[in-house]
Amino acid sequence: MKGSAVAFSLLALAVGGGLSGCSLGARHSGSAAIAGFLAAVQHDDQKAFEAALDRPALRSDLGEQLADVGKTHAVDVGDASEFALDRMISPQAIRLTAARVMPGWPATPTAAQIIPHMKAHGLHFVCLEEVSTKKCLLSFTQEDGVWRLTGMAFTPPPAEAPAAASAGPPVTTSDSEPP
């Protein structure tokens, strides 16, 4: 009985170690691809940028997030157009999102700098996490040996204060005129 328990424990450790090893493999190969992608984004290399996107998956991800924002505010936003979603998928948007990973994050991080900020989910999915919230900001999926951006966190713009929206243009006065 004692021998069975030891054998089972060793088997569990071996399986657990194998799974974490797979996770490390995904993080290693994913980090190199992400570093290349972020370099393309930084240099506005449109061809490399587009090659590293799964645009239909990004559209779907962003569309779902927009619908969720609408539901949160009890507004039926309907389906966002492909045109609107495509405008949200740009090097500038990726730069802004990637900059949220951590304070002092370099514009073009190396693969080694990326690894500590990655979360792996199996062999074919990794994401860059925001340090403070651990929220996935940029998600990448490996398909046929190629890593592509498949998800991006949408951050809605701050709500405008009601008083500021209805206040109208500022009124200026001079010392010689009554207000």
Q: State the average pLDDT for the chain.
A: 78
How much is the pLDDT for 169?
44
Rounded Cα gap, residues 118 and 61, in angstroms: 19
**Residue 150 pLDDT greater than 70, yes or no:** yes
19 — pLDDT class (breaks 50, 70, 90): very low
Q: For the segment 94-133, what is each residue's pLDDT rounded down to a tens digit?
A: 998 998 898 888 888 999 999 999 999 888 999 999 999 9
Region 42-63: what's the mean pLDDT? 95
Q: What is the pLDDT of residue 159?
A: 59
pLDDT at 12 over 90: no
- This prediction's pTM: 0.70
Would you state the structure tokens that stand for residue 156, as one six-digit string? 């809605």
